Amino acid sequence: MSTRGLMERTLDLPRLFAQLRDGARASTIAELSDLPRAAIQQFRDLWLTLPVAGRRRIVNDMVELSELNIALNFRRVLLVALDDPDEQVRERAIQGLWEEEDSVVLRRFLARLRTERVPSVRAALAQALGRFAELDVLGRLRQEESDLLRAALFALLDPREPVDVRRRALESAAVYSDHAVTTAIEDAYWSGDPALRVSALYAMGRSLDRRWIPLLLDELRSEDPERRYEAATACGHLGAEEALDDLITLTADPDRDVQAAAIAALGRIGGTVATNVLRRLARSSDPVVQEAALEALAEATFAADPLRPTPW
């Protein structure tokens, strides 16, 4: 027997599917982790014999189980579910594959995108491609894959696409930080569409381009908490020391998410002022603020001196 044959376990799929039809427990679903290559076609044949409600439940459980236990890997099963006739199954499968870095997954995403018509699934694909865009700017994709990925993301910015698709594509493409991305961010920000403006703020931080700091400073004082949140997060990514005063103010924001984003941004920016504020917040009687401040302080301290213990 070959080495590959010795490594791949046998799996009684008919038995497992009988249990899945009866409402399988997590332990049964876990058996589908690391599905052997030799079993993929049999799994594909059996998969559609399950009712749609069952397939939705199983894919959802797989995603949740893999988040709880990193040893579980449902990649091959989720790739089968990526072509499911049901849009909810397809969308959840995409979400379950978002951490994958394999070029096989990238090509499957791009192939799915070419035939997908459901806006929510297209938006999920646009968002999932963001991980591969990050790999691309790090030089970890082949040129052909890079070209296909860029073309797909920029095509999704077309005004004829639904807003949710366009905004997720913008967020994913932002890491390229070239002229086309800058123009797309500007267009989204000034479009008048609230959702696109929020995504533009997110993209500003993801672009790591400091040209956006003046706009972000304005948005830190927005009446919209979602915009304050994204502006604070973006300032953190950009290391915008210019935002320190406003971020310190936002650590007492009435919106919990904004408050947490401001505290996290202080940790990313670091420096004496930010660190002193975080030390004070780490002694807060509010457990939520205290926990967020401790995490941010650890990040600020590590960035300043990776070998220095975190001072509480």
Same fold? 99-208, 220-312: yes
Report how far residue 85's alpha carbon sits from residue 43's, in angstroms, rounded to the nearest whole number: 16
Question: For residue range 151-210, what is the model confidence (pLDDT) as tens digits?
Answer: 999 999 999 999 999 999 999 999 998 999 999 999 999 999 999 999 999 999 999 999
pLDDT for 7: 46
Looking at the structure, give the CATH architecture of the domain made up of residues 99-208. Alpha Horseshoe (1.25)
Task: Name the fold adopted by 220-312.
Answer: Leucine-rich Repeat Variant (1.25.10)
Contacts of residue 99, defined as CB under 8 A and 6 or more positions apart, other chains included, come to: 131
208 is written with which tokens?
A: 């790591």
Per-residue buried b or exposed e for 268-301, using 16+ beta carbons within 10 Å of the residue's own CB: bbbeeebbebbbebbeeeeeebeebbbbbbbbbb
Tell me the whole-structure pTM to 2 decimals. 0.91
Question: For residue range 71-102, what is the model confidence (pLDDT) as tens digits?
Answer: 999 999 999 999 999 999 999 999 999 999 99
**In the chain, where the domains are located:** 8-97, 99-208, 220-312
